Amino acid sequence: MERVSEVKEKDFLKNVIEDNVIQKERIRENILNKEYKKEVIPMKKKLYMAASIVLVFLIVFATYAYVDAKEYKEAVLFLNEIGIQEGMLSRSEAKKVYKDIKSGSFDEPVTNAVLTKVAENYGLNVENQGPEEIYATIRTYNMLTYTKRISSEDVLKIDKGMTYKDIIKLLGETKDIGTIDEHVLMYVVDGTKLLYLKFSDEDEVCQRTGKELLDTLVNAVQDQKDKNTFNAIVINKSKNHVFLSCPTYELFDSIYLIIDDKTEIVFEDGTKATVNDIEGEVIATFTGGIRESYPPQANAKKIVIKR
């Protein structure tokens, strides 16, 4: 009996020891698992934080790049209108000059330098003038000589009821071929057509929509083989001259043609016509010699009136 009791006691102690070992092993595994999870969670947080920082950086960079590209495009378009061609200034200088002029400050030395250069290229005398005065001189010159090129989409942005001042801001300044009493602004649309805006005061309201204005466009394709012959629009006329607009012609964009006894005036079908019949679209031929003036002048050899 004592032997059996000893065996049972030993088995009991053995089981207790084994249970303790198993329990300790479980406790150790639990501790190790908890430590592992503690290490994994901070690592995931670090990865998420790093990814978030990179994403924010990319968004900021993309936004900056978009704004920078937009500002540069606006600067180039504006500067081109006053004769400052792309390449005359670096990217940063172009934006600096654009902001300097648009703000009315004219404080940047590069602004004065580039405006002076443009004025010299035009042959303008700007001696003893400051940058703001030089800019005004260039603008006046461009209004006499520069015909702005725009697209049909630009014209469609015009709303009925806009003042001509607002339309000019929208489309940009262009050549005024009008008289003292009436402005006649001329725009080249899509490279082949002309838009004329006539008004007495910039505060006048335009009574047409952009779509309606597109219906008034005049064909300006130059398809004549003779280099001294061109398609044009009659702006005004008198007994001995006619003032023509031809902004897509390579030699000049407007001209006074002197009419004399040698000038042949006919309709498109060959029927003879007179000075009084000259209006609308014409095909004009000049003798070849162009007088240096603005607008230039030449003798009219032949004028064909399109019916």
How many CA atoms lie within 13 Å of 129's alpha carbon, on the beta-carbon side? Answer: 19
19 compared with 268, residue with greater pLDDT: 268
Answer whether 192's CB lies under 8 Å from 249's CB: no
Residue 198 pLDDT > 60? yes
Q: Domain 229-305 is in which class? A: mainly beta
User: Which tens digit of pLDDT belongs to each residue from 134-188?
Assistant: 998 887 776 666 788 899 999 999 999 999 999 999 998 888 877 778 888 989 9
Q: Is residue 139 classed exposed, middle or buried when 0-12, 13-18 and 19+ CB atoms within 10 A define those classes?
A: middle
Mean pLDDT value across the chain: 82
Q: What pLDDT is attached to residue 62? A: 67
Indicate the domain borders of the chain.
1-146, 148-219, 229-305
Report residue 12's pLDDT band, with 50, 70 and 90 as the boundaries: low
List the one residue out of 223, 218, 216, 233 whose CA is nearest residue 305: 233
Place of tokens 């443009």: 118
Percent of residues, the chain, with pLDDT higher than 90: 40
User: Which tens digit of pLDDT belongs to each residue from 200-246?
Assistant: 999 999 999 999 999 999 888 888 888 899 999 898 888 889 999 88
The whole-model pTM stands at 0.50
β-strands 281-291, 254-258 pairing: unpaired
Q: Which of 87-96, 246-255, 270-279 has the lowest mean pLDDT?
A: 246-255
Provide the H-helix boundaries in the chain.
2-81, 91-102, 109-122, 131-145, 152-156, 164-171, 210-214
Mean pLDDT of the region 30-54: 60
Quick one: tokens of 89?
A: 């200034």
Residue 120 pLDDT > 80? yes
Answer whether 31's CB lies under 8 Å from 24's CB: no
User: Which tens digit of pLDDT belongs to each residue from 51-97?
Assistant: 777 667 677 666 666 767 888 888 887 887 777 877 889 999 999 99
Tell me the DSSP string of 231-291: EEEEEEE-SSEEEEE-TTSSS-SEEEEEP-TT-EEEETTS-B--GGG--SEEEEEEEEEEE
Q: What pLDDT is attached to residue 3? A: 47
Q: What pLDDT is attached to residue 38? A: 52
Residue 190 pLDDT > 70? yes
Residue 123 pLDDT > 90? no
Q: What is the CA radius of gyration of the chain?
A: 40
Query: Which CATH entry fits the domain spanning 148-219: 3.40.30, 1.20.950, 1.20.120, 3.30.1450?
Result: 3.30.1450
Q: What pLDDT is attached to residue 7? A: 47
Q: What pLDDT is attached to residue 42? A: 62
Answer whether 170's CB lies under 8 Å from 195's CB: no
List the one residue out of 165, 307, 177 whose CA is nearest residue 246: 177
- Alpha-carbon distance of 75 to 94, in angstroms, equals 6
